[in-house]
């Protein structure tokens, strides 16, 4: 197992500002925490649907009451621009309200017996302890869209958040622990060692993060025979047809490339302009990226703040090295880990930018001869999370819906943006296992039992 060191999270806009320094428990203590969660789970389940619903509603109410404090913490700890941070906190409260209704839903069905008398029943039951492993970029929403359905279904939860977002996770954990019985929700600070301990002891595992770590988590959980889902990286494309409203498409795509400094699995990193769309798109997108407000994430007008770390900033800047840069490149609006929104062109097909997620505000502009060619380029990526299609024509939309290989397709909208009440996920290196969010999540956190009830005597 990997050794642990203390967690230190820093303000990406001002790295001298240490947001949290906290010791990590190590793998053995993490495994003990899972055992305590296992002991707390049966009472949580048998306490009834009304109690679970009330607890989840109380979480939503607390998040709403503390919205400004939570938003400011996300700005400070993970550099999320304030307007986006507020939107994430509002969405987080809505997620808890949505799943607060779930405990009252039907958990099964009644069937006729094939022969003779009696009843056949199916009933969904929780797995036990849900082990959740989360990234830093949506420090409230992602852990909530995993924890809320897991708890609604009657599981207890152990969360291992990303080190970079430990203060956000700890604050949300305090809110949850006030609303839930003792031991039903626990947050373990730490890194790989604690994450591995959770994967090796929980009864069901939900992971979001990079494809490299996700693959290891899936292998470890699969070897134990427990259910696992992993939401991982993206290398998402925006396809622009010549009939699109180019100005509007450029605004959507610029926000998808550089909003929150491109640190979203759904960010756009390939812009595929079909035929005559190439020249106007080059001009409009270059202008939109140049005009996109970069700076202090605490300013409500900012759309692109700093990168999460110096390493991340250096990696983004290294990616454009040697390529024709239309706009962007290194920038230093403060002493934080900033870079400028960047658009490059004439990128060779085997270049890193077209093969591996960068997770920063950079994209390649690529030409396509026609729509089929654009779809082939889109599908050539090792990832398959989301594609946006920009067009005024129904034919292009229908062709895209039939031939694009990504888990999500968004027409005349940025590739970024999530509707928490619908299934979320991708294909290939982007996702493994059943979908998250919506009603699909409740299925993942439960397992179906089949009951046969036969009469003692036939009548």
| Catalytic residue annotation | 231, 265
Judged by CB under 6 A, does residue 297 bind ligand NAD?
A: no
- Residue ranges of the alpha helices (H) in 101-210? 141-152, 166-179, 192-199
User: Can you give the three-state secondary structure of 78-105, one letter per residue?
Assistant: HCCCHHHHHHHHHHHHHHHHHHHCHHHC
Judged by CB under 6 A, does residue 24 bind ligand NAD?
A: no
Q: Tell me the per-residue interface mask from 365 to 394 with ligand NAD, x by CB under 6 A, - otherwise.
A: --------------------x---------
Q: Within positions 218 to 257, which residues make up the interface with ligand NAD, using CB under 6 A?
A: 231-234
Judged by CB under 6 A, does residue 217 bind ligand NAD?
A: yes
Judged by CB under 6 A, does residue 209 bind ligand NAD?
A: yes
For residues 339 and 313, the answer to whether their CB atoms sit within 8 Å is yes
Listed as own residue / partner, the contacts of 244-250 with beta carbons closer than 8 Å and 24 or more positions apart are: 244/277, 244/390, 244/391, 244/392, 244/412, 245/390, 245/392, 246/277, 246/280, 246/281, 246/284, 247/284, 248/390, 248/412, 249/281, 249/284, 249/390, 249/412, 250/281, 250/284, 250/285, 250/287, 250/288
Phi-psi region of 190 (alpha: psi -120 to 50; beta: other; left: phi over 0): left
Size of the site for ligand NAD (CB under 6 A): 30
Judged by CB under 6 A, does residue 22 bind ligand NAD?
A: no
CA distances to 153, 353, 383, 397 from 279, rounded to whole Å, are 52, 21, 27, 22
Q: Based on CB atoms, which residue is closest to ligand NAD, 288 or 386?
A: 386
Tell me the window of 73-81, 158-166, 313-321, 347-355 that interacts with ligand NAD (CB under 6 A).
Answer: 158-166
> Which residues face 111 on adjacent strands?
120
Q: Within positions 95 to 154, which residues make up the interface with ligand NAD, using CB under 6 A?
A: 133-138
Q: Based on CB atoms, which residue is closest to ligand NAD, 386 or 442?
A: 386
Please identify which residue in 210, 380, 412, 427 interacts with ligand NAD, judged by CB under 6 A.
210
Give the closest residue to 425 by CA, choosing from 243, 214, 259, 256. 214
> Which residues face 329 on adjacent strands?
340
| SS3 call for 155 | coil
User: How many angstroms separate the CA atoms of 144 and 165, rounded?
Assistant: 14
Q: Based on CB atoms, which residue is closest to ligand NAD, 203 or 357?
A: 357
Given the DSSP bridges, would you call strands 108-111 and 340-345 parallel, antiparallel or unpaired?
unpaired
Q: How far is the CB of 12 from ligand NAD (least distance, A)?
A: 13
Give the closest residue to 373 by CA, choosing from 292, 450, 274. 274
For residues 446 and 41, the answer to whether their CB atoms sit within 8 Å is no
Tell me the window of 155-163, 281-289, 292-300, 324-332 that interacts with ligand NAD (CB under 6 A).
Answer: 155-163
For residues 384 and 405, the answer to whether their CB atoms sit within 8 Å is yes
Tell me the window of 146-154, 172-180, 209-217, 366-374 that interacts with ligand NAD (CB under 6 A).
Answer: 209-217
Q: Within positions 403 to 442, which residues make up the interface with ligand NAD, using CB under 6 A?
A: 430
Tell me the window of 16-24, 59-67, 159-167, 279-287 that interacts with ligand NAD (CB under 6 A).
Answer: 159-167
Please identify which residue in 87, 90, 120, 216 interacts with ligand NAD, judged by CB under 6 A.
216
Q: Based on CB atoms, which residue is closest to ligand NAD, 136 or 338?
A: 136
For residues 187 and 156, the answer to whether their CB atoms sit within 8 Å is no
User: How many angstroms separate the CA atoms of 411 and 144, rounded?
Assistant: 27
Please identify which residue in 84, 88, 196, 296 interacts with ligand NAD, judged by CB under 6 A.
196
Q: Based on CB atoms, which residue is closest to ligand NAD, 134 or 446?
A: 134
Judged by CB under 6 A, does residue 192 bind ligand NAD?
A: yes
Tokens of 398: 């229908």
Q: How far is the CB of 209 from ligand NAD (least distance, A)?
A: 3
Q: Based on CB atoms, which residue is closest to ligand NAD, 15 or 275?
A: 15
- Helices 192-199, 211-224: axis angle to 10 degrees equals 30
Length of the chain: 459
Please identify which residue in 195, 259, 367, 400 interacts with ligand NAD, judged by CB under 6 A.
195
Residue of minimal Cβ distance to ligand NAD: 195
Judged by CB under 6 A, does residue 271 bind ligand NAD?
A: no
Q: How far is the CB of 34 from ligand NAD (least distance, A)?
A: 13
Interacting residues toward ligand NAD by CB under 6 A: 133-138, 160-163, 191-192, 195-196, 199, 208-210, 213, 216-217, 231-234, 265, 357, 359, 385, 430
């Amino acid at each position: 197992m990997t050794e642990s060191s203390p967690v230190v999270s820093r303000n990406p806009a001002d790295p001298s500002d240490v947001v949290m320094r906290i010791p990590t428990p190590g793998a053995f203590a993490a495994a003990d925490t899972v055992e305590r969660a296992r002991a707390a789970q049966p009472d949580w389940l048998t306490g009834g649907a009304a109690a679970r619903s009330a607890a989840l509603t109380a979480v939503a109410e607390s998040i709403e009451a503390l919205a400004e404090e939570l938003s400011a913490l996300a700005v400070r700890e993970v550099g999320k621009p304030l307007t986006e941070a507020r939107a994430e906190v509002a969405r987080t409260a809505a997620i808890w309200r949505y799943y607060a209704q779930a405990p009252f839903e039907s958990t099964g069905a009644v069937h006729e017996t094939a022969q003779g008398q009696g009843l056949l029943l199916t009933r969904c039951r929780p797995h036990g302890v849900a082990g959740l492993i989360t990234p830093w970029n949506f420090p409230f929403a992602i852990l909530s869209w995993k924890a809320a359905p897991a708890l609604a279904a009657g599981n207890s939860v152990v969360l291992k958040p990303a080190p970079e977002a430990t203060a956000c996770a700890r604050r949300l954990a305090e809110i949850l622990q006030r609303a839930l019985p003792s031991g039903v929700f626990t947050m373990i600070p730490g890194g790989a060692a604690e994450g591995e301990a959770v994967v090796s002891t929980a009864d069901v595992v939900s992971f979001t993060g990079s494809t490299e770590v996700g693959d290891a988590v899936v292998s470890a959980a699969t070897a134990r025979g427990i259910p696992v889902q992993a939401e991982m990286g993206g290398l998402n494309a925006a396809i622009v047809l010549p009939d699109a409203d180019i100005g509007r498409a450029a605004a959507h795509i610029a926000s998808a490339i550089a909003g929150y400094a491109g640190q979203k699995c759904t960010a756009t990193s390939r812009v595929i302009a079909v035929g005559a769309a190439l020249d106007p798109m080059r001009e409009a997108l270059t202008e939109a990226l140049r005009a996109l407000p970069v700076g202090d994430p605490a300013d409500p007008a900012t759309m692109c703040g700093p990168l999460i770390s110096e390493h991340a900033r250096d990696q983004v800047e290294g990616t454009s090295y040697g390529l024709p840069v239309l706009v962007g490149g290194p920038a230093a609006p403060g002493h934080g880990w900033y870079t400028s929104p960047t658009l490059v062109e004439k990128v060779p097909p085997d270049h890193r930018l077209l093969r591996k997620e960068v997770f920063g505000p950079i994209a390649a502009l690529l030409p396509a001869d026609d729509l089929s060619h654009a779809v082939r380029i889109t599908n050539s990526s090792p990832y398959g999370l989301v594609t946006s299609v920009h067009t005024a024509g129904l034919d292009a939309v229908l062709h895209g819906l039939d031939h694009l290989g990504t888990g999500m397709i968004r027409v005349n909208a940025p590739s970024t943006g999530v509707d928490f009440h619908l299934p979320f996920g991708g294909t290939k290196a982007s996702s493994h296992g059943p979908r998250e969010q919506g009603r699909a999540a409740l299925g993942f956190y439960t397992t179906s039992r089949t009951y046969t009830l036969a009469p003692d005597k036939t009548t």
